């Protein structure tokens, strides 16, 4: 694996990084997990060029056991997704699914979960790994202030949000990114589906569009691809969290399990409103982050088709300033909510499977609109959301240092000072500092 990575980084050969990834997915159940390279395409406007990232982490054994049970039950759970059987992979390639405690994550942001490699041709035919970054979830989901929620929902979020997000990450990564077939023709002209029996799940007509030799999902869906796929995976998590048997795999049973499910829906919809609109650029009329656009789309879908499962109303806060209240109807998430998400999820998968980017874009752009009038004037509400915006948390990473045969762990305060000190300690050699400054000056022209 490392030899292939070295070859890729020295020569720029994408094929070498793919081969390294093939070795990596075969390394099952390691105690230390690591992956590196040009991986995520979220920040490229065309959705094609990946940015550099890498991580080193330790496997959390007890939490990984829960994910192992989820993988073991996958072939029983996958048929419960709402699309027809023909739209699911011919065989489920059981991945390694572990919970990791991150020691170091290098990149522009630290995710809560990852499904990699991102090469769909490898994920479809050879396999993949899922990792949930447990200590990132704990660090990121302990907010004490939750605007736009009623007192009861805010308290339930504080009690169950971390547990609900662990469920959502597990379902999102394993059954979201790990599910769904791509209809394709190989170089010999052979289709990977039976064109006589498989019909378009929306129109009932024969399948007329599919991936041709050399085409990939990212190559066809380009700038739409990341947000669209994240939305599909989030919908899978919401949909399957309504299944009591699935929740039991996470040790969520009875009344507690139902509360965790409810909080999962509240959290996703609240995030799609209170946090995701922070990422909307009104001048450019677009979202600046793929996950934010994905969750906002889900909110719009449920507002439009959920028969009152979610509502937003204007109000005033204790100081008499404009405020908003988001409410989720607990009784409707298993009925109207499930139907709305199931119908939307089916359309997401059908358009992805058939490479129908035109239909996908028309649908997704509709739900991505941020109207300034009507029943839900989101553009008018953005100033209220920004006024209530909470300071961004600092994820300040620890360092390790060898002292003889001992490993010392240096930890830092989650403050601006702690963040700066961590970088000072990371790069103690003045020559490295000069080199970093040189690289900054070289790239500065690209970031005026």
Query: What is the per-residue pLDDT across 277-320, written as a single tens digit (0 to 9) for each?
Result: 999 999 999 999 999 999 999 999 999 999 999 999 999 998 89
Gap between the Cα atoms of 353 and 206, Å rounded: 13
Q: Is the pLDDT of residue 43 over 70?
A: yes
The pairing of strands 280-281 and 286-287 is antiparallel
* 205 vs 131 pLDDT, higher one: 205
Per the CB < 8 A criterion, the answer to whether 101 and 57 are in contact is yes
Structural domain spans, the chain: 31-387, 399-446
Q: Is the pLDDT of residue 45 over 80?
A: no
Helices (H), 195-289: 217-221, 225-240, 244-248, 254-270
Q: Is the pLDDT of residue 5 over 90?
A: yes
The predicted-structure confidence for 211-222, as pLDDT tens digits, reads as follows 999 999 989 999
Per the CB < 8 A criterion, the answer to whether 131 and 179 are in contact is no
Tell me the CB-side half-sphere exposure of residue 297, using CA atoms within 13 A.
31
* 131 vs 195 pLDDT, higher one: 195
Least confident of 2-6, 58-62, 195-199: 58-62
Spatial CB neighbours of 186, under 8 Å, sequence gap ≥ 6: 192, 213
Per the CB < 8 A criterion, the answer to whether 365 and 286 are in contact is no
Model pTM score? 0.83
Of the candidates 4, 173, 229, 230, the residue annotated as catalytic is 173
**Burial readout 112-145 (b: 16 or more C-beta within 10 A, e: otherwise):** bbbbbbbbbebbbeebbbbbbbbbbbebbbeeee
Q: Is the pLDDT of residue 124 over 90?
A: no
The percentage of the chain sitting over the pLDDT mark of 70, rounded to a whole number, equals 99
| Mean pLDDT in residue range 38-48 | 82
Per the CB < 8 A criterion, the answer to whether 395 and 110 are in contact is yes
Spatial CB neighbours of 320, under 8 Å, sequence gap ≥ 6: none
Q: Is the pLDDT of residue 19 over 70?
A: yes
Gap between the Cα atoms of 436 and 442, Å rounded: 10
Of 102-111, 222-231, 394-403, highest mean pLDDT: 222-231
User: What does the pLDDT read at residue 113?
Assistant: 84
Q: Quick one: which of 439, 284, 285 has its CA closest to 370?
A: 285
The percentage of the chain sitting over the pLDDT mark of 90, rounded to a whole number, equals 72
| Mean pLDDT in residue range 79-83 | 97
SS3 state at 444: helix
- Average per-residue pLDDT in the chain? 92
Least confident of 10-19, 34-43, 178-187, 324-333: 34-43
Known active-site residue 173: yes
Burial class from Cβ neighbours inside 10 Å (0-12, 13-18, 19+) for residue 104 reads: middle
User: What does the pLDDT read at residue 142?
Assistant: 67
Which residues are paired to 311 by β-bridges?
327
Gap between the Cα atoms of 56 and 7, Å rounded: 20
| Mean pLDDT in residue range 435-448 | 90
Q: Quick one: which of 303, 346, 350 has its CA closest to 327?
A: 303
Gap between the Cα atoms of 264 and 88, Å rounded: 25
Gap between the Cα atoms of 12 and 7, Å rounded: 8
Q: Is the pLDDT of residue 231 over 70?
A: yes
One DSSP character per residue, 38-58 reads EEE-TTSTTS-PPEEEEEEEE
The predicted-structure confidence for 128-182, as pLDDT tens digits, reads as follows 888 888 888 777 766 668 999 999 999 999 999 989 998 998 999 899 999 999 9
| Mean pLDDT in residue range 361-382 | 96
Gap between the Cα atoms of 51 and 74, Å rounded: 31
């Amino acid at each position: 694996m490392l030899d292939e990575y070295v070859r890729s980084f020295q020569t720029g050969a994408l094929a070498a990084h793919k081969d390294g990834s093939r070795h990596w997915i075969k390394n099952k159940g390691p105690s230390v997990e690591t992956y590196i390279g040009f991986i995520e395409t979220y920040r490229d406007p065309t959705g094609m060029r990946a940015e550099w990232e890498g991580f080193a982490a330790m496997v959390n054994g007890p939490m990984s056991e829960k994910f192992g049970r989820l993988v073991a039950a996958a072939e029983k759970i996958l048929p419960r997704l709402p699309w027809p059987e023909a739209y699911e992979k011919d065989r489920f390639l059981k991945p390694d699914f572990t919970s990791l405690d991150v020691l170091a994550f290098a990149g522009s942001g630290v995710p809560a979960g990852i499904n990699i490699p991102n090469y769909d041709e490898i994920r479809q035919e050879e396999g993949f790994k899922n990792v949930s970054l447990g200590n990132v979830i704990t660090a990121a989901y302990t907010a004490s202030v939750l605007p736009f929620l009623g007192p009861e929902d805010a308290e339930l979020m504080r009690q169950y949000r971390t547990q609900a997000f662990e469920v959502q990450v597990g379902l999102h990564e394993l059954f979201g990114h790990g599910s769904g077939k791509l209809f394709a023709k190989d170089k010999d002209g052979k289709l990977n589906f039976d064109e006589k029996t498989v019909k378009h799940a929306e129109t009932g007509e024969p399948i007329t569009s599919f991936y041709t030799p050399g085409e990939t999902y990212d190559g066809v869906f380009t700038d739409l691809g990341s947000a669209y796929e994240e939305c599909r995976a989030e919908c899978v998590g919401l949909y399957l969290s309504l299944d009591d048997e699935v929740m039991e795999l996470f040790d969520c049973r009875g009344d507690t399990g139902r509360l965790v499910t409810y909080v999962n829906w509240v959290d996703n919809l609240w995030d799609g409103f209170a946090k995701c609109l922070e990422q909307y650029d009104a001048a450019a009329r677009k979202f600046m982050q793929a996950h934010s656009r994905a969750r906002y789309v889900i909110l719009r879908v449920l507002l439009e088709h959920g028969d009152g499962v979610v509502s937003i109303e204007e109000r005033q806060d204790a100081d008499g300033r404009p405020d908003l209240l988001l409410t989720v109807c607990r009784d409707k998430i298993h009925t109207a909510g499930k139907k709305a998400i199931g119908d939307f999820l089916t359309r997401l998968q059908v358009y992805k499977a058939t490479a129908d980017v035109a239909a996908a874009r028309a649908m997704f752009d509709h739900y991505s609109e941020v109207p300034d009038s009507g029943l839900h004037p989101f553009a008018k509400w953005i100033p209220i959301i920004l006024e209530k915006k909470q300071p961004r948390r600092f994820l300040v990473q620890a360092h390790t240092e060898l002292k003889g045969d001992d490993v010392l762990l240096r930890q830092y305060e989650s403050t601006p000072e702690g963040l700066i000190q961590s970088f000072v300690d990371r790069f103690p050699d003045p020559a490295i500092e000069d080199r970093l400054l040189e690289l900054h000056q070289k790239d500065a022209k690209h970031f005026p």
